[in-house]
């Protein structure tokens, strides 16, 4: 993947241009973005947050975007050991394999139908559920994802 210059933003290996960082108020750096789930992170690191899915940002997501070493892949990205440990802590086990996951944390085996919902799998009910990527709280019109590191992201009419 390309290294970023001081004032540029690189997403999935594609330099977004000199003015992109200032226009969209994104700190200069190299990032990965998963179009299907909306998850993103710094290149070489685990997921740091979630934004809208389906955005046309950067190039295709690379298997080694977060430099994971596990045998668990989500939307083609190899998960890091810390992401797998978090999943194991929340759910008790994680089977090696290739999975898809959408922005609502519904997923399944790659190429197959939906077979799990990570939000409900942790035993949460109502509008507060725990997922492998953080805690989700919603009142039906506004949804927040609170990440394990303390950051939060909101979507909807908040």
CA 19/CA 8 separation, integer angstroms: 7
Residue 132 has pLDDT above 60, yes or no: no
Residue 137 has pLDDT above 90, yes or no: no
- String of DSSP letters for the chain: -PPPPTT-EEETTEE--TTHHHHHT--SEEEEE-TTT-EEEETTS---EE--TT---SSPPPTTTT---SSEEETTEEPPHHHHHHHHHHHS----EEEEE-TTSEEEETTS---EEHHHHTT-BTTEEEETTEEEEE-SSEEEEE-TTS-EEEEE--
The pLDDT of 87-102, averaged and rounded, is 87
pLDDT at site 17 = 87
DSSP bridge partners of 49: 40
List the chain domain ranges: 9-156
CA 137/CA 132 separation, integer angstroms: 14
pLDDT at site 19 = 84
Residue 143 has pLDDT above 80, yes or no: no
Identify the weakest region by mean pLDDT among 23-27, 88-92, 116-120, 140-144.
140-144
Sheet holding 152-156, edge to edge: 128-131, 134-138, 142-146, 152-156
pLDDT at site 136 = 64
Task: Please check whether residue 129 is in contact with residue 122, taking contact to mean a CB–CB distance below 8 angstroms.
Answer: yes
pTM: 0.73
């Amino acid at each position: 993947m390309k290294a970023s210059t001081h004032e540029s933003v690189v997403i999935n290996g594609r330099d977004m241009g000199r003015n992109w960082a200032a226009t969209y108020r994104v700190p200069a750096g190299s990032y990965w973005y998963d179009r299907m789930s909306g998850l993103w992170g710094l290149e070489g690191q685990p997921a740091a947050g979630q934004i809208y899915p389906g955005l046309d940002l950067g190039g295709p997501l690379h298997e080694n975007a977060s430099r994971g070493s596990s045998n668990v892949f989500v939307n083609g990205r190899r998960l890091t050991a810390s992401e797998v440990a978090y999943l194991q802590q929340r759910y008790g086990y994680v089977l090696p394999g290739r999975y898809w996951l959408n922005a609502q944390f519904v997923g399944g085996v790659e190429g197959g139908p939906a077979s799990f919902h990570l939000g409900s799998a942790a035993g949460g009910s109502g509008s507060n559920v725990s997922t492998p990527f953080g805690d989700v709280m919603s009142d039906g019109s506004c949804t927040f994802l609170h990440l394990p590191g303390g950051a939060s992201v909101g979507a909807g009419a908040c």
